Amino acid sequence: MSNKEAIKNYTLAELEAKMNEFGYPVYRASQVFDWLYLKRVESFSYMANLPLELKNKLDEIFRIPSFSKADIQESKDGTKKFLFSMYKGSQIESVLIPEEKRMTLCVSSQAGCALDCVFCATGKLKLARNLETSEIIDQVLEVEKLTGNKITNIVFMGMGEPLQNYENLIKSINILAEPRFELIGRRRITVSTSGIVPKIMQLADEPKPVKLAVSLHATTDLKRQQIMPIAKKWNIRQLRESIRYYYEKTHIPVTYEYIVFNNFNDGHEDAKRLARFTQSVPSKVNLIPFHRIEYPEQGKDGIALEPATPGKIKEFAEMLRSLGVNVFIRTSSGLDIDAACGQLAYSVVKKNFPFLPSAVTTD
């Protein structure tokens, strides 16, 4: 099965072209989509309105599932973390976060990550490969199947930098939001980036935009470079200009993610700079508690990152509000499980490869 191509790598238009190549009318592609994404069958034999010859042809060339195994951890707060083993090798994570009327799924775009942010476990795994379109989509479908919950919001904020897997990211969004089936609306999809400036601008130029979240975490180039190596390639000024371009093209407000580190990025001057930065376009700021487990390396250039206390985070939020910033304090979900980005996958790797560092600091 693993040697076959994943049929969910195909958009509807691409599958229509494939049907034409096979000598079948293009409407057969819509029928296949209906079986895959609405009825959720996992075998071509169940596609009752397709000719037997076509079903056999599809089964000969394609496979439907992307994952061979799923491990699940569940927190007391209802957060669920999924570790998926893929037919094409590697493991990835998805996190389901229940919030009143919303079910938000954090989706991975890569197996591992090449950016090596100091605070993130995924970077310790390094980049294994980009995920295929099908592997991105199947995170949504598998979580819905395993939990019985309908996903209301998707955030590309799991393992990996989504904008470094741009083609498959956009294909997966186009399939999930395909108007004739619309598993989820585009305005309920958010792409989170560490700041890949040219790709932010490319995302802005897409004909059907989605929401953008930017992992900022510091307000000076020096501090940002100390915790996020990608900041050495694109500075804060360039990042701000790309965000302005995104808003001018899409008119969609931007979200800024800001992990609050004790005595590193939580002072009055940090608040003033953050206010100036974020007010260049309509936006909101999510303040994130540092989801931490021990790691012997203290960060780049000897920087030791420690969680700010709840009181310190609240004080920082009040400073921002006094400066006119639309700010929210995010709660830490899944603290009693491996719920931080890359943490579950890293713990599995550590179990199998004990020569790796004994723990890791994560967000």
List beta partners, residue 193: 214
Per-residue model confidence (pLDDT) at position 100: 84
Element (H, E) at 142: helix 133-147
Enter the tokens of residue 194: 């560490």
182 in active site = no
- CA 248 to the chain's CA centroid: 24
Per-residue model confidence (pLDDT) at position 162: 98
Residue 31 has pLDDT above 80, yes or no: yes
Mean pLDDT of the chain: 89
Per-residue model confidence (pLDDT) at position 217: 97
User: Which of 30-39, 69-78, 175-184 holds the top average pLDDT?
Assistant: 30-39
**Average pLDDT of span 282-311:** 77
CB 216, CB 277: distance < 8 Å? yes
Which residue among 93, 135, 142, 257 is the active-site one? 93
- As a whole number of angstroms, the distance between CA 172 and CA 132 comes to 9
Which band of pLDDT confidence, cut at 50, 70 and 90, is reported for residue 343?
Answer: very low
Enter the tokens of residue 363: 């967000």
Per-residue model confidence (pLDDT) at position 297: 44
Which band of pLDDT confidence, cut at 50, 70 and 90, is reported for residue 124?
Answer: confident
CB 323, CB 272: distance < 8 Å? yes
Per-residue model confidence (pLDDT) at position 333: 60
Q: Which long-range contacts (CB under 8 A, 24 or more apart) does 43-50 make?
A: none
CB 216, CB 257: distance < 8 Å? yes
Neighbours of 256 (CB within 10 A): 22
Enter the tokens of residue 77: 């707060």
- Residues of the chain above pLDDT 70, percent: 88
List beta partners, residue 214: 193, 256
Q: At what angle do helices 236-250 and 197-204 cross, to 10 degrees?
A: 10
Per-residue model confidence (pLDDT) at position 361: 26
- As a whole number of angstroms, the distance between CA 143 and CA 141 comes to 6
- As a whole number of angstroms, the distance between CA 245 and CA 158 comes to 25
Enter the tokens of residue 157: 């904020």
Q: Read off the amino acid at residue 94.
A: S
Per-residue model confidence (pLDDT) at position 292: 66
The answer to whether the Cα torsion of 220, 224, 229, 234 is positive or negative is negative
Per-residue model confidence (pLDDT) at position 313: 97
Element (H, E) at 274: helix 268-278
93 in active site = yes
Per-residue model confidence (pLDDT) at position 71: 94
Using DSSP's 3-state secondary structure scheme, residue 182 falls into coil
67 contact partners, CB below 8 Å, separation of at least 6: 84, 85, 86, 87, 135, 138, 142
CB 7, CB 58: distance < 8 Å? yes
Using DSSP's 3-state secondary structure scheme, residue 318 falls into helix
Q: Read off the amino acid at residue 20.
A: N
- As a whole number of angstroms, the distance between CA 61 and CA 40 comes to 19
Write down all domains in the chain, each with its CATH number in brackets.
Answer: 5-63 (1.10.150.530), 67-352 (3.20.20.70)
What is this structure's pTM? 0.88
